[in-house]
A and B are shown apart, each in its own frame.
Chain A
Amino acid sequence: MVFCVFLLSLYSSHGQNDTVHFEINFTFNKEDLQLNKYYLLNGTDSVEINTLKFYISAISLLHNGETVWKEANSFHLIDAELNKSTKFDLAVKEGVIYDKFRFNLGIDSLTNVSGAMGNDLDPSKNMYWTWQSGYINFKLEGRSNVCLARKNEFKFHLGGYQFPYNCIQQVEFTLPQPDLIHLQIDLAEIISELRFGELDHIMSPSFSAMELSSSIAKKIRLRIP
């Protein structure tokens, strides 16, 4: 057994991979986002973001519309508070040619019904609903003077894996150059579309959660160097 694992390690150490670097940055009106800092909104109102956490999963690369590489066990919890969570390397098999990058924003339904998971999916990461099973795909919390809720807080916990409230989003980009996938989200773009006076929290699977998830997915941009 030991010998087999040993042989396997020799073999795999000779298998070559191309390292593709993934990174995602957050901005607010094109400046680097700082959590817990007040930003001006529409010139008069203010907004502060306290929590920004979400899942990226099922990363794959495509060439001419065909999937040519899929990341194994592809679940990444991105947390704006933890710089190291916003960048990682993808071990793509050497020689794979690709022109498109695809991923899911959120967690698929099969994973949602498969019991307790580890690593980034561990329920102790506070991205799992407890009163009703299911992952929170996207968590955005903060404060704004426009919010009528207690302490002017807004809380958007977006999730839901079952019809008709499945809110996972597929996102893809055509890559102008390989080896570096650099994404960006400008939070001002997301926040400016929210109407805090009418809706300041989402805590369960719903049509509002689906709408907001879809809108956020469209705000993810490829950063062209």
Chain B
Amino acid sequence: MKKSFILLFIYVYLFSSFRILNEKSFIVPTGFPEPAYDFSKNILTTEKIELGRALFYDPILSRDNSISCSSCHSVYNSFAHTDHDLSHGIDDLIGTRNAPALINLAWHKSFMWDGAVNHLEVQALAPITHPKEMDESMNHIVFKLSQSDLYTKLFMNAYNDTSITGEKILKALTQFQLIFVSSSSRYDSMTQKQIKFTYQEENGYNLFKKNCNTCHAEPLFSTYTFANNGLGLDTTLNDFGRMQITKERSDSLKFKIPTLRNIEYSPPYMHDGRFKSLFAVLNHYTSGIHQTTNLAPELKSPIILSENEKVDLIAFLLTLSDKKFIFNPDFSYPRELFAK
């Protein structure tokens, strides 16, 4: 019985030291499908999101403390990396792919251009350990963070415990990235009947529905599946995309279909950033398709667009720009944390 009282004392002590974390509900925008991410296993809290935000912007995640996630995923580019066809990382080393925009990640079923990563929580491991990106190891990051007063505090706030583990780091980073929801574009206002498209935008929207909607399906503007969209192989990279993961010839040159949301903010385009402008992209689809046996069936017959239609289609694509997303203070550099 004495043992039981000691146990009771320990429980009371433990529970009294717990604080209630501020649970944050994830709001699915009107018209969006159910997310693919299972929030019940990593319940969003303000404190974990704050920790994830600090980690996302902190170069401590790289070998020499020089590169952070935000180095290649800048909020002003919808978390893509503008002006670089191929993203560069530690020691100015240049990778083999264009950093994709991070938008509406809760709906993605796989990650990376080739779908190499099967879950958002383990995605960060790829850039963290890549010798041309951050070139760091998870156990060394755990060590570095354990030496930091800031992170001791942030982990305590987030997990009621100062112990730092790979799992906690990855789940906090995930929470921050899950809140990157874009659903406040002009297109969204139109679908909610708050505004009307201009004649040009309307015409562009009709052209989009006729030519692009199968792969870039509304409202996420992607099916998040893989397709060969007729880009010829760049022999300086020899990147065969999805085939490198599945080892199936039928997956040769297939890449994950990117969303078109915030496309205005995230040039250059394609997995290797080969097109600098939306005009160049449309010219590829109308006259640059490289015919191969596994070309996406939608592209087997050429897409025909006049020059005026291309302008209208681009006018529609610009309605997918979400300024609230780009300037959302919750997404920006956490100056207040790092200034101390």
Give chain A's interface residues, CB within 8 Å of chain B: 1-2, 5-6, 9-10, 13, 112-118, 121-126, 128, 130-134
Number of chain B residues close to chain A: CB under 8 A? 34
Q: Cβ of B171 and Cβ of A130 under 8 Å apart? A: no
Q: Which of B286-313 contact A (CB under 8 A)?
A: none
State the CA gap A131–B115 with chains docked (Å).
10
A115 in contact with B120 given A6-B7, A130-B130 (CB within 8 Å): yes
* A113-B138 contact given A122-B165, A131-B130, CB 8 Å threshold: no
**Contacting pair B138 A131 (CB below 8 A):** no
Which of chain A's residues have a CB closer than 8 A to the CB of B129?
A: 130-131
DSSP majority for the B interface?
helix
B189 within 8 A of A: no
User: Contact: B165 with A115, CB < 8 Å?
Assistant: no
Q: A123-B125, A133-B119 are in contact. Are A116 and B167 (CB under 8 A)?
A: yes
Contact of B170 among A5, A113, A116, A132 (CB under 8 A): A116
In this complex, the member of B41, B122, B168, B170 whose beta carbon has the largest number of chain A beta carbons within 10 angstroms is B122
CA distance A130 to B118 in the complex (A): 11
> How would residues 114 to 129 of chain B score, 1 for a CB under 8 Å from any chain A CB and 0 otherwise?
0011111110011011
A116–B171 contact, CB under 8 A? yes
Residue in A2, A112, A115, A122 whose beta carbon sits within 8 Å of that of B15 in the complex: A2
Q: How distant is the Cα of A13 from the Cα of B2 in the complex, in angstroms? A: 13
A133-B166 Cα distance, complex, nearest whole Å: 15
Hey, which chain B residues are within 8 Å of A125, CB to CB? 139, 166
Q: A10-B4, A13-B3 are known; give 16 further A-B pairs, CB within 8 A.
A: A2-B12, A114-B119, A115-B122, A116-B170, A116-B171, A116-B174, A122-B167, A123-B122, A123-B125, A124-B142, A124-B166, A126-B137, A126-B139, A128-B125, A132-B116, A132-B245
In the docked arrangement, what's the CA distance between A124 and B4, Å?
A: 37
Whether the Cβ atoms of B167 and A118 lie closer than 8 Å is yes
Can you list 5 pairs linking A and B with CB atoms under 8 Å apart?
A9-B4, A117-B167, A126-B137, A132-B116, A133-B122
> Residues of A contacting B11 with CB < 8 Å?
2, 5-6, 9
How far in angstroms is the closest Cβ of chain B from A162?
A: 8
Cβ of B192 < 8 Å from any Cβ of A? no
Query: Which residues of chain A are near B138, meaning CB under 8 Å?
Result: 122-124, 126
For the complex, what is the distance from the CA of A131 to the CA of B111, rounded to whole Å?
11
Question: Could you tell me the distance between the alpha carbons of A5 and B142 in the complex, rounded to whole angstroms?
Answer: 32
From the candidates A1, A9, A115, A116, name the one contacting B7 in the complex (CB within 8 A).
A9
- A118-B41 contact, Cβ under 8 Å, with A2-B11, A6-B11, A112-B118: no
- Nearest chain B CB to A41 CB, angstrom units: 31
Contact between A130 and B125, CB atoms less than 8 A apart = yes
B3-45: which residues lie under 8 A (CB-CB) from chain A?
3-4, 7-8, 11-12, 15, 41-42
Residues of B within 8 A of A123 (CB): 122, 125, 138, 166-167, 170
Is the CB–CB distance between B118 and A133 below 8 Å? Answer: yes
Partner of B126, one of A1, A114, A122, A131: A131
B residues in contact with A130, CB < 8 Å = 125-126, 128-130
Smallest CB separation, A123 vs chain B (Å): 4
Counting from the closest, the 10 A-B pairs by CB-CB distance are A124-B166, A115-B121, A116-B170, A116-B121, A124-B138, A118-B167, A130-B125, A133-B118, A130-B129, A115-B119
Q: Evaluate contact between B8 and A6: CB separation under 8 angstroms.
A: yes
| Bitwise interface map of B from 173 to 190 toward A, beta carbon under 8 Å scored 1, else 0 | 010000000000000000
Closest residue of B by beta carbon distance from A207: B247
Please state if A124 and B165 are interface contacts (CB–CB under 8 Å): yes
- Bound-state CA distance A115–B130 (Å) is 19
Which single member of B122, B126, B128 contacts A116 (CB below 8 Å)?
B122
- B118 contacts across to A, CB distance below 8 A: 112-113, 133-134
Check B167 against A113 for contact (C-beta < 8 Å): no
- Which residues of A sit under 8 angstroms from B119, Cβ to Cβ? 113-116, 133
User: CA–CA, A187 to B170, complex, Å?
Assistant: 35
Given contacts A2-B15, A126-B139, A132-B245, contact A115 B117 (CB under 8 A): no
Question: Given A6-B7, A124-B166, A131-B116, A115–B41 Cβ distance below 8 Å?
Answer: yes
Contacts of A6 in B (CB 8 A): 4, 7-8, 11
